[in-house]
Amino acid sequence: MILLDAGTTYAKILDTETDERTVKRVSDLEKTFRADVGTGHNINRFANRSVNEIIALANAGKSLIKDNSFTLLDIGSRDAKYVVFENGSFIHSDWNTECGAFTGQAIEILGNYLNIDYSKIEPQKEFITATCGLLGMGHVFDLVAAGVEPEIAAARLIKGVCISMYRFARKPKKIYLTGGLVRNRLFVESMPCETVILDRFTLLEGVKEYALNMNGA
């Protein structure tokens, strides 16, 4: 079975028979490509059946995380979403669907534009508070124009995004992170709480759970 997480920018593909995992840009997926089941913002273009992204995230959390109580946050290029479980039961979820989003994409664009390597930048204490990634980029350019090093300005934006995400997820003591931004070391180290990193195929575990239940039903 071919499972797909078709996000805004990247597609994560899992072949359940070979366990082969691939990542490619959504724009590079062939128009004829069809997964059996999938999730993500672009899924209706590329899969026969789809599962709600928060349901996939919740399923993935229950399957992958041993703790009964946890907060799992998925930060993609377009949006962020989280689920909270306590004693094995669902408690909360949220999804910053439009306004306040585009943080991941903005961070990637900013890095390319300023030609900076996030893995070589130290986390900052000061931070930029911004409603969304695009507004945040404007603040970064203002700081650079005021004489702040581009790396430091970008790191302050990332710190601001981390604090915003931490508050969005209701300030947990420990947070399980997934999504494209977990590959950004600066982002992970800027989070203001204990973090546990799950890989970017996490949502596909949730899709697999859904597919198994679907076939079993």
Partner 1 sequence: MEQSRGVYKLENGGNENNYNPMQDMVLTRHGFVRGKEQSFLKNPKDKPFIGIIGVPPKEVMEELIKEDAVILSLDMYKVDRLITEPTDNILPKAYCAQIKRIIANILSVTDFWNEDVMDSVLVGRNPISEIIIEDSEICRCNEMGFVADFIENELKIKLRRVKNNDIERKGDFICKSGIPLDEKFGKIAGYFYRDIERKKPFKPEYVKPKCAFWGTPPWGDFSIANYFPDETHIYGWTRCVENLTPGDLKLELEFDPDVPTVFFSQSFCPKAGLASYLANKHPRGMFIDMDIGLTRSTVAKLTAFLQLNKVI
- Calpha distance 149→165 (Å, rounded): 25
Cβ within 8 Å of residue 2, ≥6 positions away: 13, 14, 15, 16, 34, 35, 36
Q: Which of 67, 90, 117, 149 binds partner 1 (CB under 8 A)?
A: 90
User: Counting contacts by CB under 8 A, is residue 92 touching partner 1?
Assistant: yes
Give the three-class secondary structure for 108.
Answer: helix
Closest CA to 203 of 43, 17, 59: 59
CB of 201 to partner 1, least distance (A): 20
- Tell me how crowded residue 89 is: count the other CB atoms within 10 A of its CB: 9
- Least distance between partner 1 and beta carbon 109 (Å): 21
Nearer to partner 1, 22 or 63 (CB): 63
113 binds partner 1 (CB under 8 A): no
Q: Kindly state whether residue 69 participates in binding partner 1, applying the rule CB under 8 A.
A: no
Instruction: Indicate which single residue of 33, 95, 141, 168 sits in contact with partner 1 (rule: CB under 8 A).
Output: 95
Residue numbers at the binding site for partner 1 (CB under 8 A): 52-55, 58, 79, 83, 90-95, 97-99, 170
